[in-house]
Structures are given as structure tokens and as C-alpha cells.
């Protein structure tokens, strides 16, 4: 269902992301870019991956109406079942996830308390539930 890739994931695992999106990255000095398009929805997402010296990455997404950025991405989860990649940034207490799908959608869940991911989902409000369910993938 999912494939989790840690550390050095950009340099060593670009091909997995390219395969999911059916496109090749354009490579610059320390960054990689590709455009995900959905003709049916008329959406276009520009995805930029910038590697820093600590092997954490800056992930930027540009759409017609927004710019999303995830700092210090530690790894990603690739789901071929859901046709999406989830870039993860986490520390001891919180996790953030930037999700890019083959369908041309993107979502950002930021600074979610890790305790929420292990909580009883029935006790959460709807907004907490969405982020907890999506980001609970990192716990498995």
C-alpha cells in the first residue's frame, strides 16, 4: 500500500516520484522541479524539491491560486494505491504533511500534535479527524 523512504530520499528515490506522476524532474543545481497536470479538472501544480546540506528538503508547491511550502521535510510516503506522495516534516511533538496527488490536488496539514494521531478518532472534531486520519499513515 505505501512505501516509506527515509533520509537522502530525494537523490536516491526521485524515480519513484517520477513513476507515480509519469513525468521526469527538471534538474537544476540543488533542486528538482516537475509539473502535475490534470486536464479534466484543468489543474496544474508545480512541485519544487530543494535539497539542503543536511539532507532535509524544502518542498514548494505552486498552483494557480496558492503557494504552499514545507520546510525541513525528513522523508516521504509514496502511495501507489492513492496515487499520491506525502512529504513529511516532523519533530518530537508535531508532524506536518504536504500531499500531492496525481489527480492534481494538494493539501497541507501543519504542526499536528502527534498525540492526535494515536487518539480515539470518535472523540475528535471534524477538522482534527481529517488531519489525524491523513497523517496517521506515518505511524504504521
Q: Are 97 and 111 in contact (CB under 8 A)?
A: no
In tens digits, the chain (140 residues) has pLDDT values of 455 544 346 567 888 899 999 999 998 888 899 999 988 888 899 999 988 767 678 999 999 889 999 999 978 888 888 888 999 998 899 999 999 999 888 999 999 888 887 778 888 777 877 777 777 777 65
User: CA torsion sign, 40 to 46 to 133 to 12?
Assistant: positive
Q: What is the 3-state secondary structure (H, E, C) of 110-134?
A: EEEEHHHHCCCHHHCCHHHHHHHHH
Q: DSSP states of 59-88 as a string?
A: EEEE-SS-EEEEEEE-EEEEETTTTEEEEE
Q: What is the pTM of this model?
A: 0.85
Amino acid at each position: 500500500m505505501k512505501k516509506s523512504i527515509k533520509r537522502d530520499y530525494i537523490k536516491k528515490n526521485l524515480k519513484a516520484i517520477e513513476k507515480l506522476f509519469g513525468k521526469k524532474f527538471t534538474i537544476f543545481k540543488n533542486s528538482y522541479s516537475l509539473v502535475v497536470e490534470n486536464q479534466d479538472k484543468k489543474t496544474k501544480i508545480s512541485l519544487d524539491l530543494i535539497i539542503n546540506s543536511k539532507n532535509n528538503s524544502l518542498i514548494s508547491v505552486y498552483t494557480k491560486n496558492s503557494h504552499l511550502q514545507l520546510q525541513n521535510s525528513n522523508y516521504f510516503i509514496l502511495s501507489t494505491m492513492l496515487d499520491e506522495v506525502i512529504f513529511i516534516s516532523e519533530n518530537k511533538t508535531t508532524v506536518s504533511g504536504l500531499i500531492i496527488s496525481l489527480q492534481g490536488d494538494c493539501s497541507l496539514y501543519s504542526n499536528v500534535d502527534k498525540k492526535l494521531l494515536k487518539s480515539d478518532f470518535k472523540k475528535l472534531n471534524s477538522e482534527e479527524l481529517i488531519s489525524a486520519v491523513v497523517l496517521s499513515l506515518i505511524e504504521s
